[in-house]
Structure 1
Amino acid sequence: MANMPMDIVTDVFVRLPASMLVRCRVLSKPCFSLIDSPDLVASHLKRTLETEEHLMILLQSDRLLRTVYLDAPDKLSDVENPLPTGGFTEVFGSVNGLIGLTNSPVDLSIFNPSTRKIHRLPFEPIDFPQHSITRQYVFYGLGHDSVSDDYKVVRMVQCKHKDGAGGYPYEIKVFSLKSNKWKRIHLRFEVQNLLVRFYYNLTYRSGNGVLASNSFHWILPRSEGYIEFNTVIRFDLSSDDLGVLSFPEELYHEDYMDIGVLDGCLCLMCYCDFSHVDVWILSEYGGKWSKFITVPTSKTVVSLEFVRPLVYSKDRSKILLEINNGKLFWFDLGSKSFEMLVIKGYDEDRPWNVEIVVSSLVLGCKGDPRRAREKKMMQKVNKRCYCSSLYCALLLVLIP
């Protein structure tokens, strides 16, 4: 290692999963500095996103977090929940290797499960009486603003009165990781009028903002007497503007819908009497929607209460679908057949929430300073083991 040129070391490091790079930091001071450098963090993320290597499936249930690499489903790993005990942990999105975690509307964190680095957001009160809000009235979004190169969390809260008198007051606040501050968003009058007159009445899964083209998206379902057609609302991370996105006319009056994202493109899932699900896609942002696939029931999948496309297979012949309570199936685009993704040690009878997470060094590798026990364990590790691991990784990378 001492005589190896740093440009070769850098080329090796950008190809390794972030969890291995965390361990490689103890090899030497130059390795430590290189892995913590902004240039390597950016290069590693760029290559991971381009090649789609080291993709992980994050599984969350109650306070349990687990990860497994998509191409190695027999190696399920537990991730220690970094939030204080006492609450039901929710995951509200994933971007560039980071996930959003919350135990309550005012207890929010950004967490990197690869490096175990966490950033706890400063406390930001909700400007409504506590008795008028429950957790299902709070909607989140975690995203990366490509314009300002900043990671942001959006928290949208609606206050529901029992009789609905006076409409449904709301607030939108945005957290910036760069400034480590929250700010209140004030909207245009026409958008304010739309929100105040209508209550979202969305489930938890539908309530999380879907990130595409630097904006979060939510479905605003039609409500008799208020909104005649289903609508997609969008919040631009750069301009802090909330507006309306085009919606396919064929779905104006559908009653059961959800929204997702596949390969950076927005998707709408239309449930048809739970016998099949039509998936519509917006291939070009700002363009026209088109019907993408129809997911049918089968002997393998007998009900379709919830369907969400997650990721393409490497040859793009299949799509990984989350169906119902965290069950994962590969859906063949040609044969329309299903193949269950078998994860060793995965409890299929337990309800899970699923996110696709890339392996990245975003947020850094230093870890939470309160995790003293883990820090001491890392200091006792034999460096020669890491040298051997890196040498093996070097051979795998450089030998064709």
Structure 2
Amino acid sequence: MSRRLRKKQKRMKSAHLCDELIVEIFTRLPSKSLLRFRSLSKSCYSCIGSPDFIRMHTSQSQQKLLIRHRAHKENKEGELEEFYTLHPQDQLSLSYKHGYNNITPVQFPSTYSNIIGSYNGLVCLFDYDEKSIILWNPSIRRKLTLPDCPRTCYSEVEIGFGFDPVIDDYKIVCMPVSNGKKAGRFFVYALKTNIWRRIASHTPLFSSVITKPCLFNGVLYWLGHYDLTRTYYLLTFDLSTHVFGSIALPFKTVLSVAPTPIQGSIPSLANFANQIWLMKDASWSAFLNFKKDQVMAHLSSVLQLSTSDDLVFYSFCNGFQVYNLKIGEFSRLVNFNGASFVFDVIQCLESLQLLGMGTACEGNKLIFS
């Protein structure tokens, strides 16, 4: 073998990446890039679509903000269109007329729907038109319509979505609204089996919930109240044990805002005294106090950005207000043009969940002048 050929083989060998390093590089790439790379070879297709790789990629991904917008259709009075934008957490939307930080708006996959919750890049929707529950991954634009919950009318149930860390599976619970009547049957859906199973459980007597659920350490939390006394509490549901519980609150009047985990504590709540309360070591304490009407007017949602000490408050009156926990001040205020408004704001991880499942829902890319 000539010296020149040996040198060429040596260069080729040194340029070759081991499989472990390729996988490590792939886990740090965006979902859209990985979808393209699946066509490189059979081994790439198999690797990227494997459950182990999807789990590794999810653990490396960064949280984003999914913002759901509504706007009047151009030249069509009274008709609305819904679209969403996905943003890095340090880039909030600007305005309908002046762009969204170079992020292209995309048509929302379901016109009349409610966002139940989000975890690991999966968003759970309830579609009012189809009377069905949908799991949707906006990063790869795929959705899975669940089989109907047996012997359940969706208009008479509350729905919760979350992740069971014990068996590494996504679950949905349907619990009947009692309204003082005898409770109906409770069902839990598991993604791995794609089956609804009845569970022998019940909520506290004469209870109902008034917010969306919040997931924290494998437990769902709703803000609820007892129908007879209007006493507020946190309703809990453990996704591993399928057991309901309740936690008393330190105040009587509350805003109808979903509980929100802050600084690794049990979910917080906002009340009409402009306070955020946290529970640590089985006791409540006032965590933040705001000036009158500073953030609470028509408050829609509160969330903590995972990459910083910022709390994002969204209200229909004030738009986005970003509060920095370290400096104790509001650092940013982001307003929207009156031609559109924000309908939902949730944290959504970029992931490959649902790859190879369900159907594609590409949606139309919306370009605004």
- Normalised TM-score (structure 1): 0.71
| Cα distance change of structure 1 residues 324 and 288 upon mapping to structure 2, 3 Å threshold | farther
User: Residue by residue, what CA displacement relative to the aligned partner does 1:162-210 show, whole Å, maximum 9, x if unpaired?
Assistant: xx7xx3644432111111111223225xx4xx43x34x272xxx1x221
Question: Which secondary structure state, in structure 2, belongs to the residue aligned with residue 55 of structure 1?
Answer: strand
Is 1:214 paired with 2:218? yes
Give matches, 1:113-192, under 5 Å. 113-127=138-152, 134=155, 137-158=156-177, 167=181, 169-187=183-201, 191=203
Superposed displacement of residue 28, structure 1: 2.9
Q: What is the distance in 1 between the residues matched to 2:52 and 2:158?
A: 34
Question: Which secondary structure state, in structure 2, belongs to the residue aligned with residue 26 of structure 1?
Answer: coil
Superposed displacement of residue 363, structure 1: 2.0
Is 1:98 paired with 2:117? no
Q: Counterpart of 2:297? A: 304
The match for 2:320 among 317, 328, 331 is 328
Asked whether the 8 Å contact 1:313–1:320 carries over to 2, the reply is no
Give matches, 1:369-388, under 5 Å. 369=359
Superposed displacement of residue 12, structure 1: 1.5
Q: Counterpart of 2:346? A: 355
User: Residue by residue, what CA displacement relative to the aligned partner does 1:74-124 show, whole Å, maximum 9, x if unpaired?
Assistant: 1333344445xxx51221100011000121384111111111222210022
User: Unpaired runs of 5+ in structure 1?
Assistant: 375-400
Q: What is the distance in 1 between the residues matched to 2:339 and 2:299?
A: 15
Q: Please identify which structure carries the higher helix content.
A: 1
- Using the aligned pairs only, state the percent identity: 23
Q: What is the distance in 2 between the residues matched to 1:70 and 1:6?
A: 32
User: Residue by residue, what CA displacement relative to the aligned partner does 1:233-271 show, whole Å, maximum 9, x if unpaired?
Assistant: 2111111111223x34x31x2254534223553333233
The match for 1:29 among 28, 31, 42 is 42
Superposed displacement of residue 367, structure 1: 6.4
Superposed displacement of residue 54, structure 1: 4.9
| Cα distance change of structure 1 residues 303 and 283 upon mapping to structure 2, 3 Å threshold | closer
Q: What is the distance in 1 between the residues matched to 2:68 and 2:317?
A: 11
Q: What is the distance in 1 between the residues matched to 2:338 and 2:102?
A: 14
Asked whether the 8 Å contact 1:325–1:353 carries over to 2, the reply is no
Q: What is the distance in 2 between the residues matched to 1:121 and 1:291?
A: 41
Q: Counterpart of 1:383? A: none
Q: What is the distance in 1 between the residues matched to 2:331 and 2:288?
A: 14
Q: Counterpart of 1:6? A: 19
| Cα distance change of structure 1 residues 310 and 77 upon mapping to structure 2, 3 Å threshold | farther
Q: What is the distance in 2 between the residues matched to 1:147 and 1:311?
A: 25
Q: Counterpart of 1:294? A: 289
| Cα distance change of structure 1 residues 123 and 64 upon mapping to structure 2, 3 Å threshold | same
Q: What is the distance in 2 between the residues matched to 1:10 and 1:80?
A: 33
Question: Which secondary structure state, in structure 2, belongs to the residue aligned with residue 76 of structure 1?
Answer: coil
User: Unpaired runs of 5+ in structure 2?
Assistant: 1-11, 71-80, 93-100, 364-369
Give matches, 1:48-59, under 5 Å. 48=61, 53-59=62-68
Give matches, 1:14-25, under 5 Å. 14-25=27-38
Asked whether the 8 Å contact 2:64–2:86 carries over to 1, the reply is no
| Cα distance change of structure 1 residues 297 and 26 upon mapping to structure 2, 3 Å threshold | farther
Q: Please identify which structure carries the higher strand content.
A: 2
| Cα distance change of structure 1 residues 36 and 325 upon mapping to structure 2, 3 Å threshold | farther
Work out the number of aligned pairs and report it: 329
**Superposition CA RMSD, Å:** 3.2
Q: What is the distance in 2 between the residues matched to 1:37 and 1:79?
A: 28
Question: Which secondary structure state, in structure 2, belongs to the residue aligned with residue 262 of structure 1?
Answer: coil
| Cα distance change of structure 1 residues 11 and 370 upon mapping to structure 2, 3 Å threshold | closer
- Normalised TM-score (structure 2): 0.77
Superposed displacement of residue 44, structure 1: 1.4
Superposed displacement of residue 355, structure 1: 0.7
Asked whether the 8 Å contact 1:57–1:70 carries over to 2, the reply is no
